[in-house]
Amino acid sequence: LPAPWLLFSLINGLQPVPVSSNGLFCAIVLLFLMLLFVISSIASCKWRMNKILGFTMFLLYFIFLIISVMLEDRIIS
């Protein structure tokens, strides 16, 4: 992932690249909420990895991705 950014920066003389994100604050809050959900789901499985915990991790990740994309595309605000 950093290779394209490095190449772009080298071509443009290491100038700062402005990055705008529509839902940056909401995404950060969502990330911390997801962290709490992950820790609580691991604790509810008694700190042991099993199929239910693996499924829960995938489900939480997909929920995070969907909400993040919807925030970025201003589908939800």
Q: Is residue 37 part of a domain?
A: yes
- Give the model's pLDDT for residue 31: 87
User: Could you tell me where the DSSP H helices lie in the chain?
Assistant: 2-11, 24-44, 51-72
Q: Is residue 43 part of a domain?
A: yes
- Give the model's pLDDT for residue 3: 92
Higher-confidence residue: 28 or 19? 28
**Confidence check: pLDDT of 19 > 80:** no
Q: Is residue 13 part of a domain?
A: no
Q: Is residue 40 part of a domain?
A: yes
pLDDT digits (tens, 9 = 90+) for 24-62: 788 888 889 989 999 999 999 999 989 999 999 999 999
Domain count, the chain: 1
Q: Rounded to two decimals, what is the model's pTM?
A: 0.66
Q: Is residue 36 part of a domain?
A: yes
pLDDT classification of 23: cutoffs 50, 70, 90: confident
Q: Which domain holds residue 52?
A: 20-77
Q: Is residue 7 part of a domain?
A: no
Q: Is residue 41 part of a domain?
A: yes
